[in-house]
A and B are shown apart, each in its own frame.
Chain A
């Protein structure tokens, strides 16, 4: 459905309810330039009697600020929230159960939403939000540096061994080039980056000390110990790490599609994206399922109007890729060309990678589970614990939370 048609449909449909009063809703998000911020502005400009105030809150503070606000009932009507944090709110009844509204909606088709994002916003079989988009991580590589190191720029590494070899081949301390940039920070970003490796080795967050996960940790440790990745990997987020790739100081980078726009503008070399290397040829693929969900707070005074915004959002979902390089979370949306061949090539890779992307949780105590995983990889990478011992400790901690 085109934007114009949708606008008209919504405007007409709402005239009856909106004619009575002007309604103002508040929306909190990490970025006003993300799709929900942009769509909310468009939505406010439409003649439907609903205005949305968008308030931007730093990613790191979003959950804490929202909780504080919720405790004093000064929370917004709508929020865009990172998907692993969603369950904490829906499990405690903070978010509005929209299952019935969705069933009655002509615009939102619950069955079209991909399994991963859908599970992140579900609790007890009920729906508590709408996915904003989905993202996942894959491997970016600098084609020029590959060629310079004598590697074939058209066949990037596909297994852990090849990946490690490529990192070794391209690491060049004399020219300030690291083999790879990623993030092993003690925050949700670190968990997001580590879990795929654990999953490719046969583990999961419930089974973090499974046989093989220690090898994933060893791989990370090798990258740091051999100087193939900057020691600041331990304290740097994904955005800053990938910045070093864009600057030509790392030959590969592990990050998501949100980087594409900046990379296309900043990187003065030829680059490509490929799937995360698997443990062994033919081994299982895995990646992390990222991005935010939109939710309505249960205590809002205007649930109907807030839901109309969710419907508008869903109607615009085909713009999420070309305008924001984020992957739609619903089936049947064509990834429209962006006009940049490298970004369009990346679209296919990320779409394929997304098929193996796994959800974190859902669990209301996800931050504590995530914390246990962070402690495990950080203590190994700093040389304070052996991989298996650290993972066993994390397992005991996580079991205590799950049971």
Chain B
């Protein structure tokens, strides 16, 4: 008995206890809902059977209905474009800004801090702001483009099927860029200065220093930022709700929005779950990347 107690106080028992606490928390609040989500994707769940634990089993019917839906193809393509486009732009702009503010000039840290102002705003507020900016008739963006002579008549960002997805993407890039910048700034700050000094002495120019020192040293940070970017982008819902509601004619519907529509507009929770299960599989792969890159971080 005393051995167990001692082990609990100071030893392997204590470690195990801590792990059990964390794991059971994860299991109850993340694991169970995930498993339940997988289960209801094989069941017929409507509004009024939602409260009961078990529902009629329908096998793969929900999956067949979702994947044979005329909207499915478009949603898949939209999700792909939105995720790849958003992450690529957020990352590139975020990295550029991080490098820029890494240069030591007066006020650099202040300006970097200001960028975060956008990121701390709630998604719905950002969505409403962009909704106004993107308005076809009275939007500021159209006004600017017109004054600069780039366009003759307003672009209907939200209502033109050729633009609606990119309108939301624009808002999302603006919204997510500061987060990328901050994480990458931290990565940049962690690279020891003497590496650059040594390289400079050896005659490496700025471009060479970037390719041979900055990028390799940032590999784990970049992996983490990209993985988080994909996960956050796949979670992006508020902007769609505020700007296009997935429309017009489904032209800006992405997987996460469709899942919500099926569940909470059409009240078919089974089909809604099918989409989230599919998304979980994708996110699982991305998480592996994230875990691998953060593991490399601890080794450094």
Q: Which residues of A are interface residues toward B (Cβ below 8 A)?
A: 64, 67, 70-73, 88, 92, 94, 176, 185-187, 230-235, 244, 249, 367-368, 371, 375, 378-379, 381-382, 384
Contact (Cβ within 8 A) B265 A232: no
Residue B135 is within 8 A (CB to CB) of chain A in the complex:
yes
Rounded to whole angstroms, the CA-CA distance of A235 and B240 in the bound complex is: 12
Rounded to whole angstroms, the CA-CA distance of A293 and B197 in the bound complex is: 74
Known: A67-B267, A70-B51. A231 touches B156 (CB 8 A): yes
Contact with A along B177-192 (1 / 0, CB 8 A): 0000000000000000
Known: A186-B245, A378-B248. A176 touches B51 (CB 8 A): no
* Interface size counted on chain B using CB atoms at 8 A: 25
Contact with A along B262-287 (1 / 0, CB 8 A): 00111100000000000000000000
Known: A371-B265, A384-B249. A232 touches B136 (CB 8 A): yes
| Contacting residues, chain A, for B164 (C-beta < 8 A) | 235
Residue from B47, B48, B135, B136 whose CB has the most chain A CB atoms within 10 Å: B47
Residue from B136, B249, B251 whose CB has the most chain A CB atoms within 10 Å: B249
| Contacting residues, chain B, for A94 (C-beta < 8 A) | 48
Contact (Cβ within 8 A) A382 B51: no
A72's partner among B51, B156, B249, B266 (CB-CB below 8 A) is: B51
Residue from A92, A186, A187, A371 whose CB has the most chain B CB atoms within 10 Å: A186
Residue B83 is within 8 A (CB to CB) of chain A in the complex:
no
Contact (Cβ within 8 A) A378 B51: no
| Contacting residues, chain B, for A234 (C-beta < 8 A) | 158-159, 247-248
Residue B140 is within 8 A (CB to CB) of chain A in the complex:
no
Residue B61 is within 8 A (CB to CB) of chain A in the complex:
no
Known: A368-B266, A382-B251. A231 touches B160 (CB 8 A): yes
Contact with A along B224-266 (1 / 0, CB 8 A): 0000000000000000000011111111000000000000111
Known: A64-B264, A231-B159, A232-B159. A186 touches B247 (CB 8 A): yes
Residue B294 is within 8 A (CB to CB) of chain A in the complex:
no
Rounded to whole angstroms, the CA-CA distance of A375 and B266 in the bound complex is: 13
B164 (CB) vs chain A CBs: closest residue? A235
Rounded to whole angstroms, the CA-CA distance of A25 and B89 in the bound complex is: 51
A73 (CB) vs chain B CBs: closest residue? B51
**Closest 9 CB pairs between A and B?**
A71-B50, A231-B156, A234-B248, A378-B249, A71-B51, A64-B264, A92-B48, A234-B159, A186-B247
Rounded to whole angstroms, the CA-CA distance of A12 and B87 in the bound complex is: 67
| Contacting residues, chain B, for A185 (C-beta < 8 A) | 245, 247
Residue B214 is within 8 A (CB to CB) of chain A in the complex:
no
Q: What is the minimal beta-carbon distance from A79 to any residue of chain B, in angstroms?
A: 14
Contact (Cβ within 8 A) A235 B137: no
Contact (Cβ within 8 A) A92 B160: no
Contact (Cβ within 8 A) B266 A232: no
Rounded to whole angstroms, the CA-CA distance of A338 and B135 in the bound complex is: 35
| Contacting residues, chain B, for A92 (C-beta < 8 A) | 47-48
Residue B37 is within 8 A (CB to CB) of chain A in the complex:
no
| Contacting residues, chain B, for A381 (C-beta < 8 A) | 248-249
Contact with A along B140-159 (1 / 0, CB 8 A): 00000000000000001011
Can you list 22 A-B pairs with a CB-CB distance of less than 8 A?
A70-B47, A70-B50, A73-B51, A92-B48, A186-B246, A186-B248, A231-B156, A233-B159, A234-B159, A234-B247, A235-B158, A249-B137, A367-B265, A371-B266, A375-B249, A375-B250, A378-B247, A378-B248, A378-B250, A379-B249, A382-B249, A382-B251
B251 (CB) vs chain A CBs: closest residue? A382
Contact (Cβ within 8 A) B47 A382: no
Rounded to whole angstroms, the CA-CA distance of A24 and B136 in the bound complex is: 48
Known: A187-B245, A368-B266, A378-B249. A232 touches B156 (CB 8 A): yes
| Contacting residues, chain A, for B247 (C-beta < 8 A) | 185-186, 234-235, 378
| Contacting residues, chain A, for B248 (C-beta < 8 A) | 186, 234-235, 378, 381-382
| Contacting residues, chain A, for B245 (C-beta < 8 A) | 185-187, 235
Contact (Cβ within 8 A) A67 B47: yes
B139 (CB) vs chain A CBs: closest residue? A232
| Contacting residues, chain B, for A176 (C-beta < 8 A) | 137
B155 (CB) vs chain A CBs: closest residue? A231
B252 (CB) vs chain A CBs: closest residue? A235
Rounded to whole angstroms, the CA-CA distance of A233 and B137 in the bound complex is: 11
Contact with A along B77-121 (1 / 0, CB 8 A): 000000000000000000000000000000000000000000000
Q: What is the minimal beta-carbon distance from A68 to any residue of chain B, in angstroms?
A: 8
Rounded to whole angstroms, the CA-CA distance of A378 and B248 in the bound complex is: 6
Residue B161 is within 8 A (CB to CB) of chain A in the complex:
yes
Rounded to whole angstroms, the CA-CA distance of A367 and B46 in the bound complex is: 13
| Contacting residues, chain B, for A187 (C-beta < 8 A) | 245
Contact (Cβ within 8 A) A186 B47: no
Tell me which residues from 6 to 64 in chain B have a Cβ below 8 Å from any Cβ of chain A: 47-48, 50-51
Known: A186-B248, A230-B137. A67 touches B161 (CB 8 A): no
Rounded to whole angstroms, the CA-CA distance of A375 and B160 in the bound complex is: 15
Rounded to whole angstroms, the CA-CA distance of A250 and B267 in the bound complex is: 37
Q: What is the minimal beta-carbon distance from B152 to any residue of chain A, in angstroms?
A: 11
| Contacting residues, chain A, for B250 (C-beta < 8 A) | 186, 375, 378
Rounded to whole angstroms, the CA-CA distance of A70 and B267 in the bound complex is: 13
Rounded to whole angstroms, the CA-CA distance of A96 and B99 in the bound complex is: 64
B47 (CB) vs chain A CBs: closest residue? A67
| Contacting residues, chain A, for B246 (C-beta < 8 A) | 186
Rounded to whole angstroms, the CA-CA distance of A260 and B264 in the bound complex is: 32
Q: What is the minimal beta-carbon distance from B46 to any residue of chain A, in angstroms?
A: 9
B137 (CB) vs chain A CBs: closest residue? A230
Contact (Cβ within 8 A) B267 A232: no
Q: What is the minimal beta-carbon distance from B156 to any residue of chain A, in angstroms?
A: 4
